[in-house]
Amino acid sequence: MDGNLRRSLLAVPASSEKMIEKSKTLACDQILFDLEDAVAPNEKASARANLIKLFTSKPNFQARYISVRVNATNTPYFADDLAALAKIPTGALFSIILPKVESASQIDLLGNALLVDAQIESAAGLASVESIAAHPRCLSLSYGPLDFAADLGASLDTLNDDDLKQFTLYPLMKILVAARANQKLAFDGPEVDIRNSEKLSKGSSRVRALGFDGKWVLHPDQIALCNQIFTPSEGEFQRASALIAKYESAKSAGLGAVTDGDLMIDEASLRIAAKTVARHLAFKTS
């Protein structure tokens, strides 16, 4: 699996056996069993034991990709997380989610056999994002908005919508550019107001328009909307297909310029349309 078919990334606390069991039936693209922020310090050991028990039983999941988020490398929990991962059967996990990555060398601490989805959650991480994305075992970059804001000393609750968009635009675009320059995927962090579908819709639509591949979600109720927004619609697919056909027809006729209504169609338009078609087909047929 190359990991490309990802839109919705559901974080599931590894401390909750009930949520672990529920996750097997959920139609998200990736499940992230969490040993980090969602697990209290006094529950870390039992959470690791839950995952070892789970994967030893060879469970079936509806999700395509199954991963575990460990604690950050500079915490006292990281070594025990690695020891627990060593007890999980080979091939059971797609990747490891590494939080608060601030240098590419931290990825090497996970060992040579593990693929990594890296979270960028600090100023230092953002400053090093190009080298992190270039690491050969790094599959994707994810923006961690709350930890990033805390690291900068920002008070997001006091910002209006326009100021909040301005605040997030720089880290989002730097993460996206670093990911694309290294042929990696890019994901936005979660909408923590889990019952507010309007905020989820607006936030997801915005980052999709910027070019992001998907978004983290924290509750099963967020999955369907997230999947919908990050999958090109039938209308988008039809328009993109028609544009490609029109361009190819004009090219075959030897025409140097092609228009679609009042818009000029060029190679850039063609690449955008081709990506829309490919993404629609990939998720509709998978």
Q: What pLDDT, in 10s, does the model give residues 248-281? A: 888 888 876 677 777 788 888 889 999 999 999 9
Count of the separate structural domains present in the chain = 2
pLDDT of residue 111: 87
Structure pTM?
0.94
User: Rounded to whole angstroms, how far apart are CA atoms 187 and 244?
Assistant: 28
Do residues 242 and 131 share a domain? no
Do residues 49 and 115 share a domain? yes
pLDDT of residue 105: 97
pLDDT at residue 50 above 90?
yes
Do residues 103 and 141 share a domain? yes
Question: What are the pLDDT digits (tens) for 52-96?
Answer: 999 999 999 999 999 999 999 999 999 999 999 999 999 999 999
Do residues 225 and 252 share a domain? no
| Boundary-marking domain end, from 229, 248, 275 | 229
CA-based nearest residue to 97, from 76, 121, 63, 127: 121
Count of CB atoms situated within 10 Å of the CB of 261: 6
Do residues 150 and 279 share a domain? no
Domain-embedded: residue 2: no
Domain-embedded: residue 184: yes
Q: What is the DSSP code (8-state) at residue 272?
A: H
One-letter amino acid identity for 136? Answer: P
CATH classification of the domain holding 79: 3.20.20.60
| Boundary-marking domain end, from 229, 247, 270 | 229
pLDDT at residue 42 above 70?
yes
Domain-embedded: residue 3: no
Q: Determine contact, residues 10/26, Cβ cutoff 8 Å.
A: yes
Domain-embedded: residue 1: no
Assign 259 to helix, strand or coil: strand
Do residues 29 and 149 share a domain? yes
Do residues 245 and 140 share a domain? no
Question: What are the pLDDT digits (tens) for 205-258?
Answer: 999 999 999 999 999 999 999 999 999 999 999 999 999 999 888 888 887 667
| Boundary-marking domain end, from 213, 229, 245 | 229
Domain-embedded: residue 248: yes
- Please give the mean pLDDT across all residues of the chain: 95
Do residues 202 and 264 share a domain? no
Do residues 240 and 219 share a domain? no
Q: Write out the two tokens for 38.
A: 């969602």
Do residues 259 and 122 share a domain? no
pLDDT at residue 286 above 80?
no
Do residues 146 and 37 share a domain? yes
Q: Which long-range contacts (CB under 8 A, 24 or more apart) does 233-236 make?
A: 233/280, 234/280, 236/276, 236/280
User: Rounded to whole angstroms, how far apart are CA atoms 57 and 122?
Assistant: 37
pLDDT of residue 257: 67
Domain-embedded: residue 16: yes
Backbone φ, ψ for residue 40 (5° rounding): -65, 155
What percent of the chain stands above pLDDT 90? 86
pLDDT of residue 46: 98
CB-based contacts of 155: which residues, under 8 Å, 6+ apart? Answer: 149
Domain that holds residue 41: 8-229
Domain-embedded: residue 148: yes
Half-sphere exposure of 233 (CA within 13 A, CB side): 7
Lowest average pLDDT, out of 168-182, 183-197, 217-231, 242-256, goes to 242-256
| Distance set, CA 252 to CA 19, 106, 201, 257, 274 (Å) | 56, 51, 41, 12, 18
Domain-embedded: residue 258: yes
Do residues 222 and 241 share a domain? no
